[in-house]
Structure 1
Amino acid sequence: MKKHGILNRELNTVLASLGHTDTIVIADCGLPIPDDVVRIDLSLVKGFPPFLSVLDAILEELEIEAVTLAEEIKTNNIKMYEEIHQRLKTVPEQFVSHERLKEMTKSAKAIIRTGEATPYANVILHSGVNFS
């Protein structure tokens, strides 16, 4: 059994398979997930697991080159945006409309569904390269 890090088999498999510029999405419980994208559903009940707990676990495992967020998060969920920004302050951010973000999820390697129940708590993580 693993001693550290993410225990979820499906999530480990996806993270280990990512290459440079591949994307994954961490999503709230309401984001529509396209049928042809791998769904890793971690949600148990409304609010659990919270978005930020899942983000923190993934950031321990994955080199992030850039993030994409919905423009709407800055006005409709400022607290969540500030928490995301604090964790990724050295990573370039791109903002798109929520509708565009939903379109972009179609090319993600996987969408990780959390129990988060706050608006626009979705992020596209762009995989980087750890050559250091």
Structure 2
Amino acid sequence: MRKTGLLNTAIIKEISAIGHTQYLIIGDAGLPIPKDTLLIDLALKSGVPSFLETAEAVLDEMVVEHCYLADEIKEKNKKLNTEIGKLTENIACDYIMHEELKKMSEYARVIIRTGETSPFANIVLVAGVNF
């Protein structure tokens, strides 16, 4: 057993296997999952686990060089947008339209589904390298 950090074996496996520039998406409970995309479904009930809990755990383990958020989060979920900004302060992030973010999910290596039910609680993480 690991001493600290992420304990979910499926997520650890995917972070270990992800390649430079591949996408890992953390999504809310309503994000559509493309048919052939690997899904790690953590959703237990509404709000559990939260998007922020999940994002923090993943970001503690994964090298991320860039991220994308839905532009709509700036108006529809200001509080979460602020909290995400704190988590990603050292990562270059761009805002794109939510429809474009959903299209990016078709190219994701994996999507982690949370129990989050607040609007536009989705992030595309672009894998970096540690060298």
Match of 2:61 in 1: 61
1:48 counterpart residue number: 48
The alignment status of 1:70 with 2:70, answered yes or no, reads yes
Give how far 1:128 is off. 0.8
Give, as a single letter, the amino acid of the residue that structure 2 aligns with 1:80: L
Structure 2 residue matching 1:125: 3-state secondary structure: strand
Match of 2:99 in 1: 99
Equivalent position of 2:109 in the other structure? 109
Aligned to 1:17: 17
Which letter does structure 2 place at the counterpart of 1:44?
A: L
Given the alignment of the two structures, is residue 128 of structure 1 paired with residue 128 of structure 2, yes or no?
Answer: yes
TM-score (norm 1): 0.96
Root mean square deviation, CA, Å: 0.8
Question: Can you give the 5+ residue segments of structure 1 that lack an aligned partner in the other structure?
Answer: none
Which deviates the most, 83-92 or 99-108? Answer: 83-92
Letter matched to residue 95 of structure 1: Y
The superposition leaves residues 10-46 of structure 1 with CA deviations (integer Å, 9 ceiling, x where unpaired) of 1111110011111100000011101100000001000
Offset at residue 90 of structure 1 (A): 2.0
Instruction: Flag as ranges the 4+ runs of structure 1 deviating above 4 A.
Output: none
Task: Give, in whole Å, the separation in 1 of the partners of 2:106 and 2:94.
Answer: 17
- After TM superposition, the structure 1 stretch with the greater mean CA deviation from structure 2, 103-112 or 84-93, is 84-93
Q: C-alpha deviations, 1:62-121, integer Å up to 9, x for none?
A: 011000011100010011111001111121111111111000000000000000010000
Cα distance in structure 1, aligned partners of 2:85 and 2:6: 22
> After the TM superposition, which residues 1-40 of structure 1 pair with which residues of structure 2 at under 5 Å, given as runs?
1-40=1-40
* Aligned pairs, number: 131
Take 2:9 and 2:81, find their aligned partners in 1: how far apart are those partners? 29
Listed as ranges, the gaps of 5+ residues in structure 2 are none
